[in-house]
Chain A
Amino acid sequence: MPDITHTNNNILVAENLVKHFPINLSGIFKKRWIIVKAVDGINFSVKQGECFGLVGESGSGKSTTAYMTVGMYEPTSGSLVFKRENIARPAVKRPMHLKKDIQIVFQDPGSSLNPMRNIQSILEMPLRVHNMIKKGHSIEKKVIDLLDRVELPSHYRFRSPITIGGGERQMVAIARALATDPSFIVLDEPTSALDVSVQGKIINRLIRLQKEFDLTYLFITHDLSLMRNVATKIAIMYLGKIVEIASTNEFFQKPLHPYTQMLLSSIPILFEEEAKLKPNKIHSIGEIPSPVDVPPGCSFNPRCPFKKDICLVEDPVMREIEPGHYARCHNV
């Protein structure tokens, strides 16, 4: 089990975290419920000042995990502890200081900013809610200061989000997250909807902001090349479970789990030198199963090129293969 003790500077600890969504498909005569096992028992810890990367494809549960951290969903079971406080409850039931301390930046800047308001009022909202403006200070100055932190010109506060580009909208979303002086920010694929040239700007800025304000990030993306340059520790999720977790360097030097290898080999490569860094080509086969219909045994077995008999029957346990490097697979 990864280190989930509450010491060693762990700011966020998840233990056996589970989120199931029951869906009622009952007809008039027949009762039927199905359960979407979005997150099915995960364990991880994030240290203060770290950038923890969560990688996965659709159905992996990475967004659900992020949303539970922020309070959009309530965990079905398991524990989630932030700075020694239990946060396994939805945001409405959380005290204000937690709402101030944990913030989120969503993936799509188009829908995370209200199109009918201007940026000034969007940025004012968290400031007012948490009474961040002392008497005698101007709220407008603080908004200008926030825009400055994300290197946007001050006259942007009069504009509405639709009139600025996607990258700039995302910067506003980041400014909004920073407004409450949080210590923990969840970044849900912050640059997936953006172009490469804008991505560079934003990510580099995020890294600088992290150092400047001593922030901790939970960074979600499906782009492993990006993760390589941003995260300090990486966890790969598949169908609601973590399959491998390790520090970034360890991870890329020696990917253990077959799914990790499959992911790495699917990345389109730009430069000759990089082709050598990829593991041998594992062509991905098959579709990702739906979290409603998880295959028995190891959930990856239908697509795994190395599967053995035991994989069809028994779900592997997370083991420490090398110091700090954990994987869930019968083959390692």
Chain B
Amino acid sequence: MMTERMFTSNAIENPWVRTLDSLKKTGYKFSRNWLSVLGLVMVVIIVFLAVFAPYVAPYPQHAGKFVDFKNKNQPPSWQHLMGTDTIGRDILSRIIFAFRNALLMAIVVLAISVPFGMLTGLTAGYYSGTWFDTVIMRVTDVFISIPPIILALSIAAMLKATLMNAMIAVTVSWWPWYTRITYSLASSIKNEYYVQAAELTGASKIYILFREILPNCSSSLLTKMALDVGWVTLVGAALSFVGLGEQPPKPALGTMIAEGVERMPAQWWIALFPALAIMFVVLGFNLFGDGIRDVLSPEEA
């Protein structure tokens, strides 16, 4: 009640003024916690590197078919900040390109699993207690119990092991979590008085689902999405570690670690830096997700 700035009537009529103020407030809420700001910085770095990889990586050609046996297994130096791998490629450049694949995977997986999971959870939650709810939630239970790696292995066994198939595998095992979370939120929100008021006035079901219930789920969903970018990256790395997903010579964080594991501890940099990169991604998105949650929670009076 006290936190809204008192505008003069005229100023607030201007939509630009409102937008600006709302942005400022978002910025303030976000910056309350320095860790979230740190997370934001990390996320910006990752995204920047991924988008501008060919221009930022010191040796962009190393990300493709490239061998330089003279330079293999070099420890970190000024020419190769993270050293070179077993066939002479610059690890830093490959990591930067690997970010591209990681983010791409995350985006694709989330772009499919979130809407699907959210829709199923929303409708199941609204109709909770009916057969509709039971059917959807039991199907969800089945899918939740499928581990992504086993599924990916099966798909790879049947089809080829490619990035696309890895993404399919992860998506299929990812959407049920969104169903669950939306379901539990929706089934409790539907009992709130403001939803009752909409129903009693005769609003359509679509309206109630998307304009009354869904906005109140947005905080949890968006936070989870931010965190999930990190987790999908981790799962993707696990898949490529065992040889599924993006195939060499295209760089993938998991593959790079797999290649470097045999060389531990002598050529420690080959495995360590990709591992740190994964940690960077997961940590960055986690902290950023915390910030999102703080921004989106409704203001307390």
Inter-chain contact A99/B201, CB cutoff 8 Å: yes
CA–CA, A36 to B300, complex, Å? 37
Q: How many residues of A contact B (CB 8 A)?
A: 36
A113 at the A/B interface (Cβ < 8 Å)? yes
Inter-chain contact A129/B203, CB cutoff 8 Å: yes
Chain B nearest CB from A141 CB (Å) reads 13
B20 at the A/B interface (Cβ < 8 Å)? no
Across the interface, name the chain A residue whose C-beta is closest to B300.
A162
Q: Which residues of A contact B198 (CB under 8 A)?
A: 125
A91 at the A/B interface (Cβ < 8 Å)? yes
B12 at the A/B interface (Cβ < 8 Å)? yes
Chain B nearest CB from A143 CB (Å) reads 13
B133 at the A/B interface (Cβ < 8 Å)? no
Inter-chain contact B201/A129, CB cutoff 8 Å: yes
B interface residue count range (under 10 / 10 to 19 / 20 to 34 / 35 or more) = 20 to 34
Across the interface, name the chain B residue whose C-beta is closest to A156.
B12
Question: Per-residue CB proximity of A56-72 to B under 8 Å, as 1/0?
Answer: 00000000000000111
Inter-chain contact B1/A117, CB cutoff 8 Å: no
Known contacts A100-B202, A154-B9; decide if A72 and B196 are in contact (CB<8 Å).
yes
CA–CA, A71 to B207, complex, Å? 19
Segment of A8-16, A81-89, A104-112 in the binding face:
A104-112
Question: Per-residue CB proximity of B1-37 to A under 8 Å, as 1/0?
Answer: 1011001010011000010000000000000000000
Segment of B38-46, B175-183, B212-220 in the binding face:
B212-220
Across the interface, name the chain B residue whose C-beta is closest to A113.
B194
Q: Which residues of A114-170 are within 8 A (CB) of B? A: 114-117, 121, 125-126, 129-130, 153-155, 158-160, 162-165
B193 at the A/B interface (Cβ < 8 Å)? yes
Inter-chain contact A70/B218, CB cutoff 8 Å: no
Across the interface, name the chain A residue whose C-beta is closest to B200.
A91
CA–CA, A100 to B301, complex, Å? 33
Across the A-B interface, the 9 shortest Cβ-Cβ residue pairs? A116-B215, A163-B4, A99-B202, A112-B193, A114-B194, A155-B12, A115-B298, A111-B193, A126-B201
A contact residues vs B (CB 8 Å cutoff)? 70-72, 91-92, 96, 99-100, 103-104, 106, 108, 111-117, 121, 125-126, 129-130, 153-155, 158-160, 162-165, 176, 180
B contact residues vs A (CB 8 Å cutoff)? 1, 3-4, 7, 9, 12-13, 18, 192-204, 207, 211-212, 215-216, 218, 298-301
| 14 residue pairs bridging A and B, Cβ less than 8 Å apart | A96-B202, A114-B192, A117-B211, A117-B212, A125-B203, A129-B203, A155-B12, A155-B13, A162-B298, A162-B300, A162-B301, A163-B301, A164-B4, A180-B201
